[in-house]
Amino acid sequence: MRLLAVSIGDAKPVAGKTSGKSGIDKRPVDHPVMIDREGLAGDRIINRKYHGGPDQAVYIEGSLDYDWWRSQLGRDLPAGTFGENLLIDGLDNRDVAVGDRFRIGDVLLEVTSARTPCATFAAHMEDPLMVKRYAAAARPGAYARVLEEGVVRAGDAVEYIRFVGDRVGLPELMRSHGKRQDEETKTRFLAAPIGERLRAMILAR
Protein backbone atom coordinates (compact mmCIF):
# COMPACT_ATOMS: atom_id res chain seq x y z
CA MET A 1 0.00 0.00 0.00
CA ARG A 2 0.99 3.60 -0.39
CA LEU A 3 -0.26 7.02 0.58
CA LEU A 4 -2.11 8.53 -2.38
CA ALA A 5 -2.80 11.91 -0.81
CA VAL A 6 -2.32 13.97 2.33
CA SER A 7 -5.05 16.59 2.72
CA ILE A 8 -5.65 19.45 5.14
CA GLY A 9 -8.40 22.05 5.40
CA ASP A 10 -8.92 25.62 6.58
CA ALA A 11 -12.02 27.03 8.27
CA LYS A 12 -14.53 27.92 5.53
CA PRO A 13 -18.28 28.41 5.18
CA VAL A 14 -20.04 25.32 3.82
CA ALA A 15 -22.28 25.74 0.77
CA GLY A 16 -25.89 25.11 1.74
CA LYS A 17 -25.39 26.06 5.40
CA THR A 18 -26.46 29.50 6.55
CA SER A 19 -24.04 29.84 9.45
CA GLY A 20 -20.76 28.62 10.85
CA LYS A 21 -17.57 27.35 9.31
CA SER A 22 -16.03 23.91 8.92
CA GLY A 23 -12.69 22.35 8.09
CA ILE A 24 -14.30 19.57 6.03
CA ASP A 25 -13.16 21.06 2.71
CA LYS A 26 -9.73 19.45 2.63
CA ARG A 27 -7.25 19.75 -0.23
CA PRO A 28 -4.20 17.62 -1.06
CA VAL A 29 -0.78 19.11 -0.42
CA ASP A 30 2.47 18.14 -2.11
CA HIS A 31 4.79 18.91 0.78
CA PRO A 32 5.69 16.89 3.89
CA VAL A 33 3.22 17.25 6.78
CA MET A 34 3.90 16.71 10.46
CA ILE A 35 1.47 14.43 12.31
CA ASP A 36 1.41 14.70 16.09
CA ARG A 37 -1.02 13.49 18.77
CA GLU A 38 -3.58 16.14 17.80
CA GLY A 39 -3.46 15.50 14.05
CA LEU A 40 -1.94 17.08 10.97
CA ALA A 41 -0.10 20.38 11.16
CA GLY A 42 -2.11 23.11 9.44
CA ASP A 43 -5.40 21.19 9.50
CA ARG A 44 -8.27 23.14 11.07
CA ILE A 45 -10.85 21.39 13.26
CA ILE A 46 -13.77 23.62 14.24
CA ASN A 47 -16.39 21.65 16.17
CA ARG A 48 -14.25 19.91 18.77
CA LYS A 49 -17.26 18.50 20.59
CA TYR A 50 -17.61 15.91 17.84
CA HIS A 51 -14.37 16.13 15.87
CA GLY A 52 -10.68 15.98 16.57
CA GLY A 53 -8.93 15.18 19.81
CA PRO A 54 -6.35 12.46 20.49
CA ASP A 55 -8.68 9.58 19.54
CA GLN A 56 -9.87 11.22 16.30
CA ALA A 57 -6.63 12.91 15.34
CA VAL A 58 -6.49 11.52 11.80
CA TYR A 59 -9.25 10.55 9.38
CA ILE A 60 -8.44 7.84 6.81
CA GLU A 61 -10.23 6.78 3.62
CA GLY A 62 -9.43 3.94 1.21
CA SER A 63 -8.96 4.30 -2.54
CA LEU A 64 -11.23 1.31 -3.24
CA ASP A 65 -14.07 3.09 -1.49
CA TYR A 66 -13.39 6.26 -3.50
CA ASP A 67 -13.59 4.17 -6.68
CA TRP A 68 -16.90 2.69 -5.54
CA TRP A 69 -18.37 6.10 -4.72
CA ARG A 70 -17.26 7.51 -8.07
CA SER A 71 -19.23 4.74 -9.78
CA GLN A 72 -22.26 5.35 -7.56
CA LEU A 73 -22.30 9.13 -7.83
CA GLY A 74 -21.18 9.31 -11.45
CA ARG A 75 -18.71 12.12 -10.90
CA ASP A 76 -15.10 12.76 -10.10
CA LEU A 77 -14.13 12.81 -6.44
CA PRO A 78 -10.73 14.41 -5.86
CA ALA A 79 -8.75 13.36 -2.80
CA GLY A 80 -10.03 15.18 0.27
CA THR A 81 -13.66 15.24 -0.93
CA PHE A 82 -14.87 13.20 2.04
CA GLY A 83 -12.93 15.39 4.46
CA GLU A 84 -10.25 12.78 5.04
CA ASN A 85 -6.65 13.54 5.89
CA LEU A 86 -5.09 10.43 4.37
CA LEU A 87 -6.16 8.52 1.26
CA ILE A 88 -4.54 5.09 1.11
CA ASP A 89 -4.14 3.20 -2.15
CA GLY A 90 -5.55 -0.34 -2.17
CA LEU A 91 -7.45 0.05 1.11
CA ASP A 92 -11.08 -1.13 1.41
CA ASN A 93 -12.77 0.46 4.44
CA ARG A 94 -15.00 -2.59 4.85
CA ASP A 95 -11.95 -4.66 5.89
CA VAL A 96 -10.77 -2.23 8.59
CA ALA A 97 -11.38 -2.87 12.29
CA VAL A 98 -10.76 -1.02 15.54
CA GLY A 99 -7.18 -1.62 16.63
CA ASP A 100 -5.82 -1.99 13.09
CA ARG A 101 -2.64 0.02 12.63
CA PHE A 102 -1.01 1.88 9.76
CA ARG A 103 2.74 2.46 9.72
CA ILE A 104 3.82 5.36 7.45
CA GLY A 105 7.51 6.05 7.94
CA ASP A 106 7.94 7.13 11.56
CA VAL A 107 4.19 7.58 12.03
CA LEU A 108 2.09 4.85 13.63
CA LEU A 109 -1.70 5.21 13.62
CA GLU A 110 -4.29 3.05 15.40
CA VAL A 111 -7.93 2.90 14.30
CA THR A 112 -10.37 3.93 17.04
CA SER A 113 -13.80 4.30 15.41
CA ALA A 114 -15.83 4.67 12.23
CA ARG A 115 -16.70 7.99 10.64
CA THR A 116 -20.38 8.86 11.08
CA PRO A 117 -21.85 11.22 8.45
CA CYS A 118 -23.53 14.48 9.48
CA ALA A 119 -25.48 17.39 7.99
CA THR A 120 -22.25 19.30 7.32
CA PHE A 121 -20.99 16.37 5.24
CA ALA A 122 -24.25 16.30 3.23
CA ALA A 123 -24.04 20.05 2.61
CA HIS A 124 -20.39 19.78 1.59
CA MET A 125 -21.29 17.00 -0.87
CA GLU A 126 -24.27 19.09 -2.12
CA ASP A 127 -26.50 16.03 -1.65
CA PRO A 128 -29.24 16.12 1.03
CA LEU A 129 -29.44 12.32 0.90
CA MET A 130 -25.71 11.78 1.42
CA VAL A 131 -25.97 11.00 5.15
CA LYS A 132 -28.39 8.14 4.45
CA ARG A 133 -26.44 6.99 1.40
CA TYR A 134 -23.13 6.92 3.27
CA ALA A 135 -24.67 5.03 6.19
CA ALA A 136 -26.44 2.54 3.93
CA ALA A 137 -23.23 1.86 1.98
CA ALA A 138 -21.54 0.74 5.23
CA ARG A 139 -18.10 1.70 3.91
CA PRO A 140 -17.11 4.24 6.60
CA GLY A 141 -13.73 5.84 6.80
CA ALA A 142 -11.60 5.37 9.90
CA TYR A 143 -10.67 7.70 12.72
CA ALA A 144 -7.28 7.00 14.26
CA ARG A 145 -5.13 8.00 17.20
CA VAL A 146 -1.43 8.75 16.76
CA LEU A 147 0.79 6.31 18.63
CA GLU A 148 4.04 7.58 17.12
CA GLU A 149 4.54 11.02 15.61
CA GLY A 150 6.39 11.97 12.46
CA VAL A 151 6.25 13.41 8.98
CA VAL A 152 4.35 12.00 5.99
CA ARG A 153 3.84 12.97 2.37
CA ALA A 154 1.98 11.61 -0.64
CA GLY A 155 3.74 8.60 -2.14
CA ASP A 156 4.98 7.17 1.16
CA ALA A 157 4.73 3.41 1.66
CA VAL A 158 2.01 2.24 4.06
CA GLU A 159 2.21 -0.92 6.15
CA TYR A 160 -1.19 -2.25 7.23
CA ILE A 161 -1.08 -4.19 10.54
CA ARG A 162 -4.29 -6.02 11.43
CA PHE A 163 -5.51 -6.16 15.03
CA VAL A 164 -5.02 -9.66 16.41
CA GLY A 165 -7.84 -9.61 18.98
CA ASP A 166 -11.59 -9.96 18.46
CA ARG A 167 -12.21 -7.74 15.44
CA VAL A 168 -14.83 -4.99 15.61
CA GLY A 169 -15.19 -3.90 12.00
CA LEU A 170 -16.03 -0.39 10.88
CA PRO A 171 -19.23 -1.46 9.05
CA GLU A 172 -20.47 -3.09 12.26
CA LEU A 173 -19.73 0.07 14.23
CA MET A 174 -21.61 2.17 11.70
CA ARG A 175 -24.66 -0.10 11.82
CA SER A 176 -24.65 0.03 15.63
CA HIS A 177 -24.41 3.82 15.88
CA GLY A 178 -27.13 5.28 18.08
CA LYS A 179 -28.59 1.88 18.94
CA ARG A 180 -28.69 0.04 22.24
CA GLN A 181 -26.44 -3.03 22.25
CA ASP A 182 -26.87 -6.30 24.09
CA GLU A 183 -24.39 -6.99 26.89
CA GLU A 184 -22.29 -9.40 24.83
CA THR A 185 -21.83 -6.84 22.04
CA LYS A 186 -21.10 -4.03 24.49
CA THR A 187 -18.45 -6.16 26.20
CA ARG A 188 -16.83 -6.99 22.87
CA PHE A 189 -16.82 -3.35 21.75
CA LEU A 190 -15.39 -2.13 25.05
CA ALA A 191 -12.62 -4.74 24.93
CA ALA A 192 -11.37 -3.21 21.67
CA PRO A 193 -9.20 -0.03 21.71
CA ILE A 194 -12.13 2.21 20.71
CA GLY A 195 -12.06 5.99 21.06
CA GLU A 196 -13.18 7.67 24.28
CA ARG A 197 -16.21 9.38 22.69
CA LEU A 198 -17.51 6.05 21.44
CA ARG A 199 -16.68 4.33 24.72
CA ALA A 200 -18.66 6.95 26.66
CA MET A 201 -21.64 6.55 24.33
CA ILE A 202 -21.66 2.77 24.79
CA LEU A 203 -21.37 3.02 28.58
CA ALA A 204 -24.19 5.55 28.71
CA ARG A 205 -26.70 3.17 27.09
**Residue 27 phi, psi dihedral angles, 5° rounding:** -125, 140
Three-state DSSP at 40 gives strand
pLDDT digits (tens, 9 = 90+) for 44-95: 887 666 677 899 999 999 999 999 999 999 999 999 999 999 999 999 999 9
Q: Rounded to an integer, what distance in angstroms lies between the CA atom of residue 27 and that of residue 84? A: 9
User: Which pLDDT value is given to residue 109?
Assistant: 98
| Residues constituting the chain | 205
Q: Rounded to an integer, what distance in angstroms lies between the CA atom of residue 110 and that of residue 173? A: 16
Residue with the larger pLDDT of the pair 67 and 199 = 67
**Domain count within the chain:** 1
Decide if 59 contacts 84 (C-beta within 8 A).
Answer: yes
Could you tell me if residue 83 is left (phi over 0), alpha (psi between -120 and 50 degrees) or otherwise beta? left
Q: How many CB atoms lie within 10 A of CB 13?
A: 13
pTM of the model: 0.92
CATH number reported for the structural domain that contains residue 108 in this entry: 2.40.33.20
User: Which pLDDT value is given to residue 81?
Assistant: 94
Q: Rounded to an integer, what distance in angstroms lies between the CA atom of residue 73 and that of residue 68? A: 9
Residue 65 belongs to what domain range? 2-204
pLDDT at 125 over 80: yes
- Residue 177: Cβ-neighbour burial (10 angstroms; 0-12, 13-18, 19+): middle
DSSP letters, 95-123, are: G-BTT-EEEETTEEEEEEEE----HHHHH
pLDDT digits (tens, 9 = 90+) for 132-190: 999 999 999 999 999 999 999 999 999 999 999 899 999 999 888 777 778 888 889 99
